[in-house]
């Protein structure tokens, strides 16, 4: 089947964004419906792509290549391996739900409603592009352009310190991006004036050059992911962004960082990756513990969820730099599951915030008595987030720890303690918001009298279903991921240690 | 007695310059012969026609590689490309200069010599028709720039430098509003420019002492042979560089830039930012690539330090600015630094990437100043940054356009700002100048902040009492704005054709 899935997926949301932006400002309902319909159509196309993908086939599928800037050897080259495919699916699944969840978000504060949904669709387009690109220049272009819609989503439609958060987000990402630009230029000059990913993987660099180039890319991705100590923008951005945009930001957009490490740092600079792996592992482990501790102390729900994400990115980092197929598969699976679980958590928190007009934990208390259903969903999202067995994140976290334990026991042991802290911040947050005696301010709050509406149920139901499904039966996803991760690890030149008996069964 | 032999002159190759000088002289006659009220109607078409005719001749000469007029003038790829670029940018700037609908009488004052604050001055501020002398002055300046980038010996280059500088000094003093600021700018520019010219001239003398010649080919021979006194060579080259870097607005020779950019009438500022920069870098390229490539190892560290200093000064001081025109001035200084990075690659890619950058930046900066001319209140342009707060709510279209231009300055992909930065950094990396690339990248990060601050102001702040309205642009300004924005977008999305052109144009004749 030769349908150009990737380019169509990249362009379609952009067309949708233009259409929605051109709708009259006076008809917000129409804009929402068009945006929702469009994103559902994109989802349908993505599902078709998933079906067309051959799990056991070539490493890169759906390859397309068109000339762009011949003078620099830049081409519009799209191709997806298993890792990119699952990320593309994740975006496609999340976007309609986020649009539905943000139904009334833009109306507060007399902002332009069509533009909000147009920005979401534009963001989707750039994210598709960044995951589908197989040309380093093209990847860089999407990596940077992606900032612009997100910047306006946070800055124009956020709450609290939205201006500060938006600028901080933009500057941090731009700084990382410019380090990467220097590395991209170096890669281009030293790699023989080509941007083609495959050609660059085959190119040889001197050890010194390779290490510097690795650092350039790694800086960008470590800021994006974010890893400790480059994480400080995320709580601000996550806290200020509207809940839907925050779900996209943390659920998908940040995954560009870890995806970039897997797709670019490891295969392009294998020697440097091995050289810097201890550093990366250290940062990841510090991130797990440090962010979890900070999450325990947060009083702002959205900031709290942002910190939990930083801890989870630490797990993903451990999985990537352990250099075993098992841990790598776990890391990629974690990227998907974290997108679902944290996305759900952000959306549910957003529903609480919309009712209370406050994201402070101390403004809640006993909310479960007033909103039993919503509180139940929050509990589920929280438990998924702390990787309770039976939910999808458990599988991935277990794989990461198992895969890293075989090669680096110290890291695995320290990371495991992060699970305990995770239980701490999630359960304590749920206790303080939904349990105990009812906060008197809540009882008199008009919004707190309405439990979940049908729209909100439709938003959370697919996510809950996916989390449970992948918790019990992750095989469809791991089958796609596994070959890609194996190939990536082969690029790095890491060989798996002899597997201990029974570990592969645990993966199933 | 020996017969004097007249040098052979290729008039077709000189035609663009001759046409512009002719048009400028005609413009002076128009000033004398045509009644005041109708002068603008004659001058604008005359200027535009002259520029178009000059452009036609430039294009007709494409592919020429020769020296003419007794080796005084070189017509080669870079010269023709730069002449074409200056002409095209000049057309766009001339459109801004010709705008009359934004305020009664246009952006220029009627009688610049009247004392500021006098009765006569107040009456002319109220709407007396502006000085149409501006047009011939602009044509003289553009003609001088064409000569400047084609000059093949140092004396011709000096003459051209004066020819294009003197009209610019005058033009700076012609602002209709804030007359004192404008006059101060002109005086400052004139004095500092005169010093720079003196340095340049002194440099010529020293180089003559070194090489015994002023043509670049003879200088090159002398430098390659390495026979003369090193002191004369280095001191001479340093003084020449000071003269050129002054015009290019590189630190530490940049101090005039913010004041002059702020005080000059905004259309003239756009002319200086686009065309003067192009001319100055064109001449710098020729001096370094044709005259002194033999001394690359000697001048590269020093000019490299100047490049880094320029980027740093531009980026850091842009952060602290509160006036839009001054902010753009510091941004223009920083961009001079990026251009120097391209120049210092000292490879063919260095030439072509610098040429590309000059064109890309020129269009973007003209469009940015075009927006500045539109944001105004009863007292003229509202350039203080605080006045731009909430502009996105008042006038989403122009705020959107300006945001796009700022993103281009910040080097976000899909704008010409990104492709041009990529070109110069790539060339410098290829030329082994990794330190300059790293410095360029780091300063780009700093420089993103002031741009972003303006974006925040426009979109994320609520409009205040003092937020001015955006005037509806006349046909001329609209045209300039549309051209500038389209080129910025086009060179960001499809830079291929222009890259081809610059690659083919990158070969100097010696």
Whether residue B359 has pLDDT greater than 90: yes
Give, for B183, the enclosing helix (H) or strand (E).
helix B179-211
Under a CB-based contact definition with an 8 Å cutoff, are residues B175 and B125 in contact? no
Q: How much is the pLDDT for A497?
A: 65
Nearest-Cα residue of chain B relative to residue A186 = B429
Q: 3-class secondary structure for B330-378?
A: HHHHHHHHHHHHHHCCCCHHHHHHHHHHHHHHHHHHHHHHHHHHHEEEC
Rounded CA separation A98/A242 (Å) = 10
Q: Taking residues A133-142, what's their average pLDDT?
A: 92
Do the Cβ atoms of B449 and A145 come within 8 Å?
no
Query: What mean pLDDT value characterizes chain B?
Result: 89
Candidates A69, A163, A189; nearest CB to B430: A189
Which percentage of chain B shows pLDDT scores above 90? 57
Q: How much is the pLDDT for A408?
A: 86
Query: What mean pLDDT value characterizes chain A?
Result: 87
Q: How much is the pLDDT for B19?
A: 94
Q: How much is the pLDDT for A1?
A: 52
Q: Is B331 on the interface with A (CB under 8 A)?
A: no
B75 forms beta bridges with B66
Under a CB-based contact definition with an 8 Å cutoff, are residues A394 and A334 in contact? no
Q: Is A209 on the interface with B (CB under 8 A)?
A: no
The Cα of B410 is separated from the nearest Cα of chain A by a number of Å equal to 10
Q: Is B412 on the interface with A (CB under 8 A)?
A: yes
Under a CB-based contact definition with an 8 Å cutoff, are residues B506 and B348 in contact? yes
Secondary structure (3-state) at A387: coil
Do the Cβ atoms of A171 and B448 come within 8 Å?
yes
Whether residue A371 has pLDDT greater than 90: no
Which percentage of chain A shows pLDDT scores above 90? 31
Instruction: Enter the tokens of residue A23.
Output: 């709708």
Question: Which letter does DSSP use for residue B104 in this model?
Answer: T
Candidates B419, B421, B460; nearest CB to A163: B460
Please write down the long-range contacts of B502-506, taking CB distance under 8 Å and 24 or more positions apart. B502/B81, B502/B351, B502/B352, B502/B353, B502/B355, B502/B356, B503/A71, B503/B348, B503/B352, B504/B77, B505/B77, B505/B78, B505/B80, B505/B81, B505/B352, B505/B355, B506/B77, B506/B78, B506/B348, B506/B349, B506/B351, B506/B352, B506/B355
Q: Is B496 on the interface with A (CB under 8 A)?
A: yes
Per-residue pLDDT band for A503 (boundaries 50, 70, 90) equals very low
The residues, any chain, with a CB within 8 Å of residue A170's CB and separated by 6 or more, are A147, A151, B448, B452
Question: Which letter does DSSP use for residue A498 in this model?
Answer: P
Q: Let me know the angle formed at the C-alpha of A337 by A87 and A502, rounded to the nearest 5 degrees.
A: 110
pLDDT tens column, B252-268: 899 999 999 999 999 99
Q: Is B441 on the interface with A (CB under 8 A)?
A: yes
Residue B130 lies in a domain: yes
Instruction: Enter the tokens of residue A388.
Output: 């309770």
Whether residue B196 has pLDDT greater than 80: yes
Q: How much is the pLDDT for B127?
A: 67
Rounded CA separation A180/A263 (Å) = 14
pLDDT tens column, A62-95: 888 898 988 888 889 999 998 999 999 999 999 9
Residue B69, phi-psi category: left (phi > 0), alpha (psi -120 to 50), beta (remainder): left
Do the Cβ atoms of B422 and A174 come within 8 Å?
no
The residues, any chain, with a CB within 8 Å of residue A313's CB and separated by 6 or more, are A225, A226, A227, A254, A257, A258, A284, A287
Other CB atoms closer than 10 Å to residue A51's CB: what's the count? 8
Query: For chain B, how many structural domains are there in total?
Result: 1
Which domain range does residue A45 map to? 5-507
- Higher-pLDDT residue of A260 and A105 is A260
Whether residue A314 has pLDDT greater than 80: yes
Residue B254 lies in a domain: yes
**Chain centroid to CA B209:** 31
Rounded CA separation B422/B427 (Å) = 8
- Closest C-alpha to A135, from A219, A274, A10, A276: A10
Measured between beta carbons, the chain B residues lying within 8 angstroms of A211 are: none
Per-residue pLDDT band for A499 (boundaries 50, 70, 90) equals low
Candidates B425, B459, B503; nearest CB to A155: B459
Tell me whether strands B375-377 and B73-75 are parallel, antiparallel or unpaired.
unpaired
Nearest-Cα residue of chain B relative to residue A153 = B460
Per-residue pLDDT band for B106 (boundaries 50, 70, 90) equals confident
Measured between beta carbons, the chain B residues lying within 8 angstroms of A171 are: 445, 448-449, 452
Q: How much is the pLDDT for A353?
A: 85
Whether residue A500 has pLDDT greater than 60: no
Nearest-Cα residue of chain A relative to residue B422 = A185
Residue B437 lies in a domain: yes
Question: Which letter does DSSP use for residue B36 in this model?
Answer: H
Do the Cβ atoms of A182 and B503 come within 8 Å?
no
Do the Cβ atoms of A152 and B500 come within 8 Å?
no
Whether residue A498 has pLDDT greater than 70: no
Query: For chain A, how many structural domains are there in total?
Result: 1
User: In degrees rounded to 5, what are phi and psi of residue B11?
Assistant: -65, -30
Q: How much is the pLDDT for B108?
A: 84
Residues 445-484 of B with CB under 8 A from A: 445, 448-449, 452-453, 456, 459-461
A66 forms beta bridges with A76
Under a CB-based contact definition with an 8 Å cutoff, are residues A127 and A255 in contact? no
Whether residue A429 has pLDDT greater than 50: yes
Q: Taking residues B451-478, what's their average pLDDT?
A: 82
- Closest C-alpha to A243, from A343, A117, A126: A343
Whether the ω angle into residue A229 lies within 30 degrees of 0, i.e. cis, is yes
Residue B4 lies in a domain: no
**Percentage helix, strand, coil for chain A under 3-state DSSP, each rounded to 5:** 75, 5, 20
Per-residue pLDDT band for B295 (boundaries 50, 70, 90) equals confident
- Closest C-alpha to B380, from B183, B179, B189: B179
Whether residue A23 has pLDDT greater than 60: yes
Q: Taking residues B419-436, what's their average pLDDT?
A: 92
Per-residue pLDDT band for B242 (boundaries 50, 70, 90) equals very high
Q: How much is the pLDDT for A505?
A: 46
Whether residue A415 has pLDDT greater than 60: yes
pLDDT tens column, B124-177: 766 677 788 889 999 999 999 999 999 999 999 999 999 999 999 999 988 888
Angle between helices A28-52 and A5-22 (to 10 degrees): 180
Q: Let me know the angle formed at the C-alpha of A407 by A341 and A423, rounded to the nearest 5 degrees.
A: 30
Q: Let me know the angle formed at the C-alpha of A492 by A487 and A498, rounded to the nearest 5 degrees.
A: 75
How large is the ipTM? 0.88
Q: Is B59 on the interface with A (CB under 8 A)?
A: no
Rounded CA separation B246/B226 (Å) = 28
Measured between beta carbons, the chain A residues lying within 8 angstroms of B438 are: 182
Rounded CA separation B311/B325 (Å) = 18
Per-residue pLDDT band for B440 (boundaries 50, 70, 90) equals very high
Rounded CA separation A82/A55 (Å) = 8
Under a CB-based contact definition with an 8 Å cutoff, are residues B85 and B94 in contact? no
Whether residue B326 has pLDDT greater than 70: yes
Do the Cβ atoms of B452 and A189 come within 8 Å?
no
Q: How much is the pLDDT for A502?
A: 46
Instruction: Enter the tokens of residue B166.
Output: 């003197």
Q: Is A188 on the interface with B (CB under 8 A)?
A: yes
Q: Taking residues A408-428, what's their average pLDDT?
A: 88
Under a CB-based contact definition with an 8 Å cutoff, are residues B219 and B213 in contact? yes
Rounded CA separation B67/B261 (Å) = 36
- Closest C-alpha to A83, from A336, A401, A274, A343: A336
- Closest C-alpha to A494, from A398, A409, A403: A403
Q: How much is the pLDDT for A61?
A: 87
Candidates B444, B449, B503; nearest CB to A178: B444
Candidates B414, B429, B495; nearest CB to A69: B495
Candidates B412, B437, B500; nearest CB to A182: B437
pLDDT tens column, A297-312: 888 888 888 999 899 9
Which percentage of chain A shows pLDDT scores above 70? 96
Whether residue A506 has pLDDT greater than 50: no
Whether residue B103 has pLDDT greater than 80: no
Which domain range does residue B482 map to? 11-504
Q: Is A148 on the interface with B (CB under 8 A)?
A: yes
Q: How many residue pairs from chains A and B have C-beta atoms closer than 8 A?
A: 80
């Amino acid at each position: 089947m030769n349908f150009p899935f990737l380019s169509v997926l990249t362009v379609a949301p952009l067309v949708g964004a233009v259409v929605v932006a051109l709708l009259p400002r006076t008809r917000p309902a129409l804009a929402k419906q068009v945006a929702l319909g469009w994103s559902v159509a994109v989802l349908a196309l993505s599902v078709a792509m998933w079906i067309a993908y051959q799990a056991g086939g070539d490493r890169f599928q759906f390859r397309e290549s068109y000339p762009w800037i011949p003078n620099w050897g830049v081409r519009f080259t799209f191709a997806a391996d298993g890792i990119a495919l699952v990320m593309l699916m994740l975006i496609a699944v999340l976007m309609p739900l986020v649009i539905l969840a943000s139904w009334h978000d833009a109306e507060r504060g007399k902002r332009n409603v069509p533009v909000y949904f147009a920005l979401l669709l534009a963001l989707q387009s750039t994210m598709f592009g960044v995951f589908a690109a197989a040309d380093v220049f093209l990847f860089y272009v999407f990596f940077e352009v992606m900032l612009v819609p997100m910047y306006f989503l946070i800055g124009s439609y956020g709450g609290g310190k939205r201006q500060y958060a938006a600028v901080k987000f933009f500057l941090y990402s731009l700084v990382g991006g410019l380090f990467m630009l220097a590395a991209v230029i170096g890669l281009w000059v030293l790699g023989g004036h080509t941007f083609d990913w495959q050609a660059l993987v085959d190119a040889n660099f001197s050890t010194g050059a390779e290490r510097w180039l690795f650092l350039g890319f790694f800086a960008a991705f470590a800021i994006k992911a974010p890893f400790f100590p480059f994480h400080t923008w995320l709580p601000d951005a996550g806290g200020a962004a509207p809940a839907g945009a925050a779900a996209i930001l943390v659920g998908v957009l940040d995954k560009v960082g870890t995806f970039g490490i897997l797709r670019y740092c490891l295969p392009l600079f294998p020697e440097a990756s091995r050289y810097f792996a201890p550093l990366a592992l250290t940062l990841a482990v510090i991130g797990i513990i440090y962010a979890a501790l900070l999450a325990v102390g947060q009083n702002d729900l959205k900031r709290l969820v942002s910190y939990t994400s930083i801890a989870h990115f630490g797990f993903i980092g451990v999985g990537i730099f352990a250099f075993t197929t098992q841990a790598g598969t776990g890391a990629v699976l974690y990227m998907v599951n974290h997108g679902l679980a944290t996305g759900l958590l952000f959306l549910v928190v957003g529903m609480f915030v919309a009712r209370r007009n406050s994201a402070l934990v101390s403004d809640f208390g006993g909310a479960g008595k007033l909103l039993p259903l919503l509180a139940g969903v929050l509990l589920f999202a929280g438990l998924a987030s702390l990787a309770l067995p039976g939910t999808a994140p458990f599988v991935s976290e277990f794989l990461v720890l198992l895969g890293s334990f075989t090669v680096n026991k110290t890291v695995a042991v320290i990371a495991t303690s992060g699970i305990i802290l995770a239980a701490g911040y999630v359960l304590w947050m749920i206790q303080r918001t939904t349990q105990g005696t009812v906060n008197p301010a809540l009882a008199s709050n008009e919004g707190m009298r309405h439990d979940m509406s049908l729209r909100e149920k439709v938003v959370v139901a697919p996510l809950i279903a996916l989390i449970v499904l992948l918790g019990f039966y992750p095989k469809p996803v791991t089958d796609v991921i596994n070959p890609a991760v194996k190939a990536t690890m082969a690029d790095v030149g890491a060989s798996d240690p002899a597997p201990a008996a029974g570990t592969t069964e645990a993966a199933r | 007695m020996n017969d004097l032999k007249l040098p052979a002159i290729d008039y077709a190759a000189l035609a663009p310059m001759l046409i512009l000088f002719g048009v400028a002289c005609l413009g002076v006659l128009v000033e004398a012969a045509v009644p005041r009220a109708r002068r603008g109607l004659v001058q604008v078409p005359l200027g535009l026609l002259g520029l178009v005719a000059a452009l036609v001749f430039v294009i007709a000469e494409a592919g020429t590689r020769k020296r003419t007029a007794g080796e005084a003038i070189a017509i080669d790829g870079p010269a023709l490309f730069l002449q074409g670029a200056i002409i095209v940018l000049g057309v766009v700037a001339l459109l801004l200069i010709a705008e009359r609908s934004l305020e009664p009488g246009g952006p220029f004052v009627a009688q610049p010599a009247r004392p500021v604050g006098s009765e006569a001055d107040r009456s002319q501020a109220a709407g007396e028709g502006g000085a149409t002398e501006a047009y011939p002055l602009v044509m003289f300046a553009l003609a001088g720039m064409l000569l400047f980038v084609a000059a093949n010996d140092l004396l011709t280059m000096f003459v051209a430098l004066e020819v294009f500088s003197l009209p610019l000094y005058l033009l700076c003093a012609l602002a209709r509003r804030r007359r004192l600021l404008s006059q101060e700018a002109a005086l400052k520019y004139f004095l500092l420019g005169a010093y720079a010219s003196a340095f340049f001239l002194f440099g010529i003398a020293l180089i003559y002492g070194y090489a015994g010649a002023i043509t670049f080919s003879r200088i090159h021979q002398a430098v390659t042979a390495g026979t003369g006194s090193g002191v004369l060579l280095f001191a001479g080259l340093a003084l020449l560089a000071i003269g050129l870097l002054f015009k290019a607005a590189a630190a530490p020779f940049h101090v005039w830039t913010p004041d002059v950019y702020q005080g000059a009438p905004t259309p003239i500022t756009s002319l200086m930012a686009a065309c003067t920069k192009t001319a100055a870098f064109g001449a710098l390229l020729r001096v370094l690539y044709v005259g002194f490539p033999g001394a690359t190892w000697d001048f590269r560290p020093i000019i490299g330090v100047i490049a880094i200093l320029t980027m740093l000064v531009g980026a850091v001081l842009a952060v602290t600015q509160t006036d839009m025109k001054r902010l753009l001035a510091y941004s223009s200084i920083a961009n001079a630094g990026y251009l120097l990075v391209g120049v210092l690659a000292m490879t063919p890619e260095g030439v072509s990437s610098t040429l590309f950058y000059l064109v890309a930046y020129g269009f973007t900066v003209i469009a940015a100043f075009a927006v500045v001319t539109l944001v105004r209140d009863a007292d003229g342009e509202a350039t203080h940054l605080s006045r731009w707060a909430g502009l996105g709510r008042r006038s989403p279209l122009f705020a959107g356009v300006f945001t796009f231009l700022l993103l281009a300055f910040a080097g976000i992909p899909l704008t010409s700002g990104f492709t041009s930065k990529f070109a110069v950094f790539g060339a410098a990396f290829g030329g082994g100048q990794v330190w300059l690339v790293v410095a360029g990248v780091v300063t780009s990060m700093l420089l993103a902040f002031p741009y972003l601050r303006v974006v925040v102001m426009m979109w994320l702040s609520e409009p205040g009492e003092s937020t001015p309205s955006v005037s509806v642009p006349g046909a001329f300004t609209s045209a300039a704005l549309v051209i500038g924005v389209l080129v910025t977008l086009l060179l960001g999305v499809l830079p291929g054709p222009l890259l081809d052109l610059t690659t083919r144009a990158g070969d100097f004749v010696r």
